[in-house]
Structure 1
Amino acid sequence: MDKAALAVFLRADFAQVADDFVVERADEAGVTLRLVAGERHLRPGGTVSGPALFALADVAMYLAILARVGPVALAVTTNCSIDFMRKPEAGRDLLAEARVLKLGRVLAVGDVLVFSQGRPEPVARAGLTYSLPPR
């Protein structure tokens, strides 16, 4: 699936979160997904919350897998490990760069780096595993 197809899929199948995300890039190398960080994503202290960072990493990996296998709505996260490395800067969108490391018949494994827009150092790193339904 390309960038446009992923955006349509997200809007149709996950409308509850579609307004939070923008697919910036989608190709064989992976997906770049933007979290349009708003007031609802902040925690006390003015930083983007951990749950918002987790959601960004999870959705980015989900879309990176779909970019490779097509619109498989029932692919599900089976494992996620996330390291919060730096405080995301308030007032900046976050960008997640997701790549699929292994795409098997039943499992897909990948990683995601999350950046504050315009900053070179990542604010978080996640490793995720997804279970794929029978094709």
Structure 2
Amino acid sequence: MPIKVPADEMAEFLDEVFPQVKGMFGIDRLDEDLLVMRLHASEQHLRPGGTVSGPAMFSLADVAAYVATMARIGKEALAVTTNCSIDFMRKPAAGVDVVAHAKLLKLGKTLSVTEVLLYSEGSPDPVARANLTYSIPPAR
């Protein structure tokens, strides 16, 4: 599936439509095969014990699925999550970013399905796995 919106334009779009999380996420790679995105983990994302919280990891998975979809359909701010399943498999390392590897599995006219693996930066073992479905608004 070809990319319609390159990484730099997608980052600007995210800042525009979601100013409340500006600077929280970065796009490392965006091509037909894979989206690599990161949560710039900071104090606000930590839970007791000093590791990145589940809600912060969910946010990264959700934004990664959104970006993977938008990059292919174009800038459509009103696409929404309709389903998410996430498995937290191990504790993320303290003091490092969480990195998402997102693959768009299906893109239809009304739904997209994305698989996202989350990693502590520098670790080969995923800390979480998520499957997300997005609803795509009808063309106007």
Equivalent pairs counted in the alignment come to: 135
Q: Secondary structure at the match of 2:15?
A: helix
Structure 2 Cα separation of the partners of residues 16 and 30 of structure 1 = 26
Structure 1 Cα separation of the partners of residues 10 and 16 of structure 2 = 10
* Aligned equivalent of 1:98: 102
- Of the three residues 124, 127, 136, the one matched with 1:132 is 136
Q: Secondary structure at the match of 2:116?
A: strand
Contact 1:74 1:133 in 2 (8 A): yes
Structure 2 Cα separation of the partners of residues 61 and 98 of structure 1 = 7
Contact 1:28 1:67 in 2 (8 A): no
What's the C-alpha RMSD, in Å, of the aligned pairs?
0.7
**2:15 alignment partner AA:** R
Unaligned stretches of 5+ residues in structure 1? none
Matches within 5 A, 1:1-135: 1-135=5-139
Structure 2 Cα separation of the partners of residues 31 and 16 of structure 1 = 22
**2:96 alignment partner AA:** R
Q: Secondary structure at the match of 2:92?
A: coil
**1:102 alignment partner AA:** K
Deviation sequence 1:23-79 (CA, Å, 0-9, x none): 111111131111000011000011100000000000001000011111010110000
TM-score for both structures, normalised by structure 1:
0.98
Further displaced range: 49-58 or 30-39: 30-39
Structure with bigger strand share is 1
Structure 1 Cα separation of the partners of residues 43 and 110 of structure 2 = 38
Deviation sequence 1:65-121 (CA, Å, 0-9, x none): 011111010110000000000100110101001111000011101100000000000
Percent same amino acid at aligned positions? 59
Structure 2 Cα separation of the partners of residues 30 and 122 of structure 1 = 16
Structure 1 Cα separation of the partners of residues 89 and 31 of structure 2 = 27
